[in-house]
Amino acid sequence: MLTRVLGRSGMKVSALCLGTMTFGKEADEAASRAIVDRFLDAGGNFVDTADVYNGGVSEEIVGRALGARRDRVILATKGRLPTSDDVNDQGAGRRHLTRALDASLRRLGTDWIDLYQVHWPDPSVPLEETLSTLDSFVRAGKVRAVGLSNYLGKDIQKAIDLCDRYGWAPISSHQPQYSLLVREIELDTLPLCAHERIAVLPWSPLGGGVLTGKYATAAEVPADTRVAAAPPKAQANQLSDHNLAVARAVGEVAAALGRSSAQVALNWVLHRPGVTAPILGARHVGQLDDNLAAEGWQLDEAHVEQLDRASRTPLPYPHSMYRMIIR
């Protein structure tokens, strides 16, 4: 599998990252272990989890599944969100992140995390406290590199500047939502990360499954899907006319290429400028195999333009004017 450098860290990661949010819920331990085995056998070396995934069970399964193979994997996890009913068991402050990291290390059965990420911003804590805490993890040898997730571009830039000013461990990655259905990071975050050599690790590159082609209309929702389990308003948002039109465009390209819709949608994200490694989610090995086949080839320019055109939405000011100027 193709490898890419993880931002400023110097570590090399597979161009597809295995996400493990399904572990312990949609995939039991046996299925999860089979998914990990298949991913590593295919040449993958990048695995992402989080302390909140299924109450910590995901981390526990990942640790057991890796076992003696831990050294060959770039292991990433995240902390910030509540993991108990303790009012202080959350946030991006020193107290919680320190406890969260130690708990993740125990669950994963490892002495270090290759990439530790702040899962969401925390407006109640100064960014300086969050970043200095991450730096202390690196200095203690518990973490090799640090990253952010779901941050605004302006806050990523502030974090970069603070780390440079105080000599703290640099921001190596950012994990945002990005797909043909959610392209807002192209406005500022993606160019910023490319300029600052920050790895971009998109989550939900298949738009919550909408881009796999399994939803023909908003009225036809398979019972065993995430959309079916979502509240009515969330279902309506995910299966909007625009999203279904994009999914149809993906299906047209897939049919022309003899590929699955998932492979086409993933390939589009994989080759976007600035993207390092899209995060794959799978409930079983068959689903993973289909996703892995998104790597090793590239959409031609005409098909990329077709997908870009179908997924383009009106931009807010001043981005709308900027688009006109750069044309």
Known catalytic residue at 53: yes
Instruction: Find the CATH number of the domain harbouring 123.
Output: 3.20.20.100
Going by C-alpha positions, the residue among 129, 115, 133 that lies closest to residue 172 is 115
pLDDT of residue 216: 76
pLDDT computed for residue 288 by the predictor: 98
Do residues 1 and 280 lie in contact, with contact meaning Cβ atoms separated by under 8 Å?
no
Domain that holds residue 154: 3-210+262-300
Position 326 scores a pLDDT of 63
* DSSP structure class, residue 314: P
Within-domain flag for 145: yes
- Could you tell me which of 69, 173, 175, 158 has the C-alpha nearest to residue 120? 175
316 inside domain: no
Q: What does the alpha-carbon distance between residue 38 and residue 135 come to, in Å, rounded to a whole number?
A: 34
pLDDT of residue 308: 97
What pLDDT, on the 0 to 100 scale, is given for residue 228? 62
Residues of the chain with pLDDT under 50: none
pLDDT of residue 93: 98
User: What would the pLDDT profile of 16-46 be if each residue is shown by its tens digit?
Assistant: 999 999 999 999 999 999 999 999 999 999 9
Q: Which position among 53, 116, 151, 215 bears the catalytic label?
A: 53
| Residue 279 belongs to a domain | yes
At 221 the pLDDT is 72
Assigned domain for 44 exists: yes
Domain count, the chain: 1
Distances, alpha carbon 321 to alpha carbons 26, 183, 309, 325, in Å: 44, 17, 18, 6
Residue 324's pLDDT is: 74
The reply to whether 282 falls in a domain is yes
Predicted local distance difference test score (pLDDT) of residue 43: 98
Q: What's residue 231's pLDDT?
A: 76
Residue 178 belongs to a domain: yes
Tell me whether residue 237 is in a domain: no
- Asked if residue 242 is part of any domain, the answer here is no
